[in-house]
Each structure stands twice: as C-alpha cells, then as structure tokens.
Amino acid sequence: MSVVNHLPVDVDPADLEHVARCVAVLAGRLIVDERPVDLGVAQTKSSRTDIVTEMDSRSEQLLRAELARLRPDDGVLGEEGTSQAGSSGITWVVDPIDGTVNYLYEIPAYAVSVAACVGDLADPERLVPVAGAVFNPVTRELFHAYAGGGARLSVGEHERRLEVSAQTDPALALLGTGFGYDSAKRARQAALLTAVISRVRDVRRIGSAALDLCSIAAGRLDVYYESGLNPWDRAAGQLIVAEAGGVVRGVDAEPTSDLVVAGPQVLVEQLAAWVLPARTWIDPAREA
Ligand code: IPD
C-alpha cells in the first residue's frame, strides 16, 4: 500500500514538505550564524565520542518551537531528547545536526534533517516518512521530497529533480557507509567492511548519514549501507532516496536501526546479499 494511504485525510504531503524545508533552513542558518567561536562539547551520550554541542540543543529547541507554531497538533521526536506525542497522526522526526563531529571540527558535511512521518511515536523504528528536507547550511543545498512528488535539490532559486545512479555493476560502484560511536561496535562494522571493500570501486565515509542518503538520491554515491542508524539519522533521507527512484531496505523489507541499505535496486540487493550473512550488527554479548 502506498504511504500516501496512511496519511490523515486532511493532510497534503506537499504542505508538510514546505514546512520541513522552512524549518530545516531556519535551524541550518542558526547553527552557522550563531556558532560560538569557542564551541566545545557540552555533554556526551553513548560514549565519550558521542557528543552534543550547545548548538545541537539550540537547533532542536528552534525546530521544536517552529513546529509547535506551524503544526501545533503534531508530535515531535528529536535526537537531543524531544519526544512529544501529537493528536494529528503526524510525527516530526528531527536531527538538529546530523554530522555533529564534522560540525565540531568545521568539516563542511553536516546537515539539519527534518521528516514528517506517520505511525506510532511509541514505535519510532516503524515511523514512515511522508515528507522531508535535509539542509547543508555550508553548501546551502536543500534536499527535499514528499511521498509521490519526487525528490529535488534546491540551491537558492535553482531547483532540479534527483535520480539515483544508473550504475548496475557493483565492481564500479562507489559505496558510502558510516560507523557508530561505540568502539566495540565500530570494530564489528570494520570487519563487515572488509567483506565488501574489495568488491566495489571505493568507499566513502562522509560522516553524516542524512547527507549520505541525499548523495545516493543525487547519484553522488552509488550505494550505501550502515548499521546502527537512529530514526532521526535516516527518516528524511530514506524518503528522498525512494522519491529519487531508489530502494531503501533493512534486514527485512523495511530499514531499521539494525541495517539500512540504499541505492538503485540491483546494487541494494547485491550489497544486502554480501552484508546480511555477516550479521555483525548483533552484539555477541546480547546473543550469549
Ligand atoms: C551520526 C552520523 C554518522 C553516522 C552515525 C550517526 P550524528 O549522526 O550520521 O554519519 O555514521 O551512525 O550517529 O551523531 O552526527 O547526529
């Protein structure tokens, strides 16, 4: 069934996309314009390297306030702790800075990611994006899509349709991936990469899953996989890939935090066939 059929009857996904674009750009400008010169790490989360800066918190506050103003009946789920149920059937899934480590180091590959989803906030893994926007405030690239409307890249006044790569040969495919903050998990992810790296053209680790997915939509990467992504890392990007003609899957049909594989169908199925048997996203301690 098309995701459009899950939408509340009075909701137009194009309107949600407009909201996603507006708030992503506002938050993106904030993190660049108001970045303190002495920006440091405000707190850490899952490990000493899983960081939050004061601008992550400020960006999420701005997103929450703007969404409450524009869509007061919707729910919001954010990376930095927002979890607020709504009554409209729409939940916004936001990443106030995806690529926080790049942001800290002033590497210009970070973005604000905003997605309008349908589904149950109590089961965030299964929220289904119906509109979304990813904004890189340094390049001013705004990637956006709504269900059934195609994916687009806007830079200022210029806008173009996005299409995934036409590459079908895995040996010629440029592969994107990423790693988690937990060092034991990263070691398992590295082991998995050794099963893949010699079979593709080359590998890129950009440092922002949202921008990785948008790069897939724009054909700047041919195929991408990562284990351990959270809903806010992937919600907008996975819709943008699907609307650019790509496929996004997980261990089973739907992407989850265990695994996301994205790209043109042929490459996604090949990648899945290589990575699925390894099951390296399973912590051996969890299975013991
Ligand atoms: C991280 C980035 C990174 C990916 C990690 C994510 P954050 O998100 O998207 O590329 O490899 O898995 O956690 O922490 O910068 O919002």
Query: Measured from the CA of 98, which atom of ligand 1 is nearest?
Result: 16
Mean pLDDT confidence for 131-139: 98
Rounded percentage of the chain residues whose pLDDT exceeds 90: 79
Distance 189 CA to ligand 1 centre (A): 14
Question: Can you give the three-state secondary structure of 44-68, one letter per residue?
Answer: ECCCCCCEECHHHHHHHHHHHHHHH
Distances in Å between the Cα of 5 and the Cα atoms of 2, 12, 16, 130, 191 are 6, 11, 15, 10, 41
What is the per-residue pLDDT for 130?
97
Distance 10 CA to ligand 1 centre (A): 34
Query: Measured from the CA of 229, which atom of ligand 1 is nearest?
Result: 12
Distance 52 CA to ligand 1 centre (A): 12
The 10 Å Cβ neighbour count of residue 79 is 22
Beta bridge partners of 216: none
Residues 189 and 179: beta-carbon distance below 8 Å: yes
What is the per-residue pLDDT for 158?
97
Distance 84 CA to ligand 1 centre (A): 22
Query: Measured from the CA of 79, which atom of ligand 1 is nearest?
Result: 16
Give residues (CB < 6 A) around ligand 1.
79, 95, 98-100, 178-180, 207-209, 226, 228-229, 233
Enter the tokens of residue 52.
Answer: 């939050």
User: Is the pLDDT at 5 greater than 70, yes or no?
Assistant: no
Residue of the CA atom closest to atom 2 of ligand 1: 208
Dump pLDDT digits (tens) for 250-276: 999 999 999 999 999 999 999 999 999
Distance 230 CA to ligand 1 centre (A): 8
Query: Measured from the CA of 209, which atom of ligand 1 is nearest?
Result: 9
Phi, psi of 168 (to 5 degrees): -120, -10
Beta bridge partners of 112: 135
Residue 8: pLDDT band (50, 70, 90) is confident
Strand 128-136 with 111-118, pairing? antiparallel
